[in-house]
Amino acid sequence: MQKRQGLDALGYGKMAKPSVGAGEVLVRVVCAGLNPVDFKLANGGMNEWVWPHVPGVDVAGVVEEVGARVDEVIVGDRVMLHNDIRKQGGLAEYVVGQGHTVSRLPEGIGFVEAAALPCAGMTALLALDRKVGMVEGQSILVQAGAGGVGGFAIQLAKLGGMHVLTTCSGRNVEYVKQLGADVVIDYTKGDVLQEVKAVTGGEGVDVVLDLLGGDAGAAAMEMVRFGGHVAYVVGVPDLSGVYGFVKGYSAHAITLGGAYLSGDWRAQCDLAEMGEELLEMVDEGVIDPLVEEVIGFGEAVEGLRRLSGGHVRGKIVVQVGEG
């Protein structure tokens, strides 16, 4: 991507093979997962980017080279990585990542499944496990349950013993039920707030996972019960009109990229730990990696374009190289 913004600026070309520094690993990319953050950043760019810039934060591949002071992986390891959004991404033959942020793949997990996990799966795990905490018997509303983060959140919440409500369009009702949703609200047919109130006897849910932002994010405060939690993935809305002492809520900003942007070493290491937890759950068959479509490298731009439309179910994975 040249120094122009938007998906129309994306194209294919040749770049020099990247080199590794201390603490870094060079990964030969086999598969890359597509995520909303990829097209959103393509539309806005970052001051830290080196141009031309390669998008793609989620990678699965093989370690080809390790830099000094890397002891987490060795050459030949099959790995998964959620990369620093400021760095060159995974829609390329090679990508460089930090050694302490990569997760090694179990023998039973393929590159396609692994590439679908990092951004969406880690976001759901960070929100529900690290931030909110899943309490058996409590209720949660997962907005946009048919998407990547929503699909993982439904599965994780159900594993945690929670009563799961979710929103989706009519065509995805059976899909989210199969993932574990107990109550499905078709947002195209009614008022979501009123449906949530009706299901919960007027109290609201214990947790809202807001994956939509905007008006839907603000409405989350009306859907959560007193003392509940709202976890925001796409930005915290204006809460100036919410009197916290009356509502008693807890608001959580969910960010994976912040682990890199803040320079927090522990948060970066937790990316690898969350990756390993997700890989183990997939390997044990307790969660589905949500792969809906595998496309060729030459279809990556069109895949991002479709993803930007907002109605893609599950995960799209790009086959970049050979496994």
Quick: pLDDT tens for 288-304.
Answer: 999 999 999 999 999 99
Report the C-alpha gap between 177 and 172 in whole angstroms.
9
Is the fold of 7-117+263-319 the same as that of 120-253?
no
Residue 240 has pLDDT above 90, yes or no: no
pLDDT digits (tens, 9 = 90+) for 42-87: 887 888 888 888 999 999 999 999 999 999 999 999 999 999 999 9
CA angle 65, 257, 5 (to 5 degrees): 90
Quickly tell me which residue has 């520094």 as its tokens: 21
Q: Is the CB of residue 233 less than 8 Å from the CB of residue 153?
A: no
Residues forming a β-bridge with 296: 319
CA–CA separation, 163 and 225 (whole Å): 14
Q: Which of the four pLDDT bands, split at 50, 70 and 90, describes residue 321?
A: very high
Angle 192-199/214-223 helices, nearest 10 degrees? 20
For residue 187, CA distances in Å to 116, 137, 169, 222, 315 come to 26, 25, 6, 16, 21
Q: How far apart are CA 257 and CA 254, in angstroms?
A: 9
Percentage of the residues of the chain whose pLDDT score is greater than 70: 98
Tokens 């070309």, located at residue:
13
Integer Cα distance of 133 and 125 in angstroms: 10
* Yes or no: domain 120-253 corresponds to CATH 3.40.30.10: no
pLDDT of residue 91: 97
User: pLDDT category, 213, cuts 50, 70, 90?
Assistant: confident
3-class secondary structure for 59-96? EEEEEEEECCCCCCCCCCCEEEEECCCCCCCCCCCEEE
Specify which residues 229 forms β-bridges with: 207, 250
Q: What is the pTM of this model?
A: 0.95
**Which residue blocks in the chain are alpha helix, DSSP H?**
36-44, 111-115, 118-125, 148-159, 173-179, 192-199, 214-223, 244-247, 258-261, 265-283, 300-308
Residues 78-127 have pLDDT tens digits of 999 999 999 999 999 999 999 999 999 999 999 999 999 999 999 999 99
Domain covering 7-117+263-319 assigned CATH 3.90.180.10 in the classification: yes
311 vs 267, higher pLDDT: 267
Compute the chain's Rg from CA coordinates.
20
Tabulate helix, strand, coil % of the chain (nearest 5): 35, 25, 40
Specify the 3-state DSSP secondary structure of 32: strand
Nearest C-alpha neighbor of 220 from the set 142, 138, 132, 151: 142
Domain extent listing, the chain: 7-117+263-319, 120-253
Find the mean pLDDT for residues 137-165: 98
State how far the alpha carbon of 206 is from the alpha carbons of 121, 136, 164, 197, 246, in Å: 21, 11, 10, 12, 16
Q: Tokens 């994306």 identify what position? A: 10
**Residue 37 identity (one-letter amino acid):** V
| DSSP string covering 193-214 | HHHHHHHTTTS-EEEEEE-S-H
CB 291 within 8 A of CB 64: no
pLDDT for the residue 4: 61
Find the mean pLDDT for residues 32-43: 91
